[in-house]
Structure formats: C-alpha cells, structure tokens
Amino acid sequence: MDYTLIRASRKSISISIRDAVVVVRAPHRAAKSEIDQFVESKQRWITSKLALAQEAAAKRQQFVITYGSMLLWRGQEYPLLGDSPTKCTWRDDQGFHMPPGCDEPTLKHNVIRLYKSCAKPFLTQRVTHFAKVVGQMPASVTITQAMSRWGSCSAVTHRTPINLDGTAPRGSGHASILGRTHSPRTTSLTSSSTSTEKTYRLNFSWRLCMAEDDIIDAVVVHELAHTKHMNHSAAFYALVRATLPDYDARHAQLRLLSQRLGCEDWSL
C-alpha cells in the first residue's frame, strides 16, 4: 500500500488520512520493515477511511452555494436569501440576506465575509464571559479562514522597561479585548531593567459559528485554558473540565459537524 512517510522525534508510529492520502508518521530510528508491517496490520482500517475520504472528496466537488441553500448558524439552519435591495448583506432570524443576481463564487465570498463579521462579536462575547472564569483575559480575538482547526492560542512576550522609581514608561500599556489598559505615567526617562509579560491571542475559524452554542463554548474554553497551560497536560484538562464538567461530551459532538463540513467546499 502506498503511503507518505514523515519521520519525526516521536516514540510511536501513527497513521492518518488527509485528502485521501495515507500519511504515516514514525520515529527517526524506526526500520522501514517495521513501518511497513504496522501499515499492513492496519490495512482494513485504512481501506475503510480511504473510502470515506474519497466519498467526502466527491461531495466537495459537487458542493455549491446558491440562493435557497440552507446555512448553519449556531446549530440552526437558515436560508440564503437574495432579497437585499442594496449591496448590503446581513443575517437575522429569517436567514442570510444577499443582493440578488450574484454568481456562485461571489455568493460564496459574500457568505463567508458575512459569517466572519457575525462571528467576531459573538465569539468575543463568549471569550469575555469564560475568561472571567478561567482567570486570564486574552489581548485579542481573531476570526480566521482556518479549515483544519477550530481554534488556536498564541502567546506573545512583551518586554517593558522599568524606571528607577519602579514605574513603567508612558505608553507602555497593553491592549485587551475589553479595552486598553495603561501603566502609570512617569516623567523619568531612565530605566535600569525590564519586566517580561505575556499576552495571549485567540484565533477561531469562522466555521465554528456553525456549531451549537454548547460546542462553541467548549472550543472557547479549550483555547482559553491554553492561556494557563500551553500544552494538553493533565493540568490543562483539569482546568477545562472544572470550567465545563461535560466538556468531553460537547467535544465529541464537534466531530459530527466536522464530518458534515468535510463534505463541503468552503475554499475561495
């Protein structure tokens, strides 16, 4: 069986299916014969997953966005309507409103742009809510075009000069999603050291807003927990489950949405 081999610093061999291609990751020291034997032992699983991947790929090729298409927003389906009297687009309880007469690429572009504009305030509100529980407010929330992940958390290290009197120079405050905070002003221009501070930026795929609210909150809490633990350690999951005791059940439901979107082509 053909496969793409990626060697890495790891202890075990793993197999994944990406775009109907078998990808095998193995330790640097693993013998090729050992890898082949492992792949052979998983042939039934690989065959099954390849069939599903090929079926999804065929559905993606047939996927189109047209007036009347049903679009997900927070777990509910709404129609795509061509009733906007101007070039303006908006979303409400009636559906997604677009100007009439758009071709399919333009319609898809407008729908994605509308999703992003609606996702930004909604996800920012959910982050703000749970940040108070987790105890860490991120500096920003960004909506992305990511297709392979629902969210991510990145840390940014800031080095702030400290004046001799212990205060930070004027203008050295950092922004947060709740607004800008400023350090006390000072007239001193001489510094003897610097302080190090980390801020965190959360990124979410616009597609996350297709999920139900419980699932959205699970992803939000997951990424917020990374502001405390930049890993997937026991401490990380303890914080996640302390915030959402039913996190595991919510996360499992996310796979159903992943399967649906795996059959839809939202690339531009």
Mean pLDDT across 191-207: 81
Mean pLDDT across 15-44: 93
* Co-location of 77 and 43 in the same domain: no
Residue 173, pLDDT above cutoff 50? no
* Co-location of 81 and 112 in the same domain: yes
Q: What are the structure tokens assigned to 166, written together?
A: 């212990």
End-of-domain residue from the set 48, 83, 118: 118
Range of the domain at 32: 4-62
Residue 189, pLDDT above cutoff 80? no
Q: Give domain status of residue 51, yes or no.
A: yes
Higher-confidence residue of 170 and 245: namely 245
End-of-domain residue from the set 62, 85, 110: 62
Q: What span, in angstroms and rounded, lies between the C-alpha atoms of 133 and 36? A: 48
Q: What is the pLDDT of residue 183?
A: 34
Angstrom distances, CA of residue 150 to CA of 53, 70, 239:
20, 21, 19
* Co-location of 9 and 53 in the same domain: yes
* Co-location of 8 and 54 in the same domain: yes
Choice among 122-131, 138-147, 169-178 with the minimum mean pLDDT: 169-178
Tell me: the pLDDT tens digits for 232-247? Answer: 999 999 999 999 999 9
Q: Give domain status of residue 84, yes or no.
A: yes
Q: Give domain status of residue 155, yes or no.
A: no
Q: What are the structure tokens assigned to 262, written together?
A: 């795996």
Tell me: the pLDDT tens digits for 219-235? Answer: 999 999 999 999 999 99
Bridge partners (DSSP) listed for residue 31: none
Tell me: the pLDDT tens digits for 248-268? Answer: 999 999 988 898 888 999 988
Q: Give domain status of residue 39, yes or no.
A: yes
Q: Give domain status of residue 150, yes or no.
A: no
Q: What span, in angstroms and rounded, lies between the C-alpha atoms of 173 and 169? A: 9
* R_g of the chain, CA atoms, integer Å: 24
Q: What is the pLDDT of residue 161?
A: 64
Q: What are the residue ranges of helices labelled H in the chain?
A: 32-41, 43-62, 104-134, 213-225, 234-243, 247-261
Residue 207, pLDDT above cutoff 50? yes
* Co-location of 21 and 57 in the same domain: yes
pTM, whole model, 2 decimals?
A: 0.77
Q: How many domains does the chain fold into?
A: 2
Helix (H, G, I), strand (E, B) or coil at 208: helix
Q: Give domain status of residue 193, yes or no.
A: no
Q: Give domain status of residue 40, yes or no.
A: yes
Mean pLDDT across 51-79: 94
* Co-location of 79 and 52 in the same domain: no
Higher-confidence residue of 191 and 22: namely 22
Higher-confidence residue of 194 and 93: namely 93
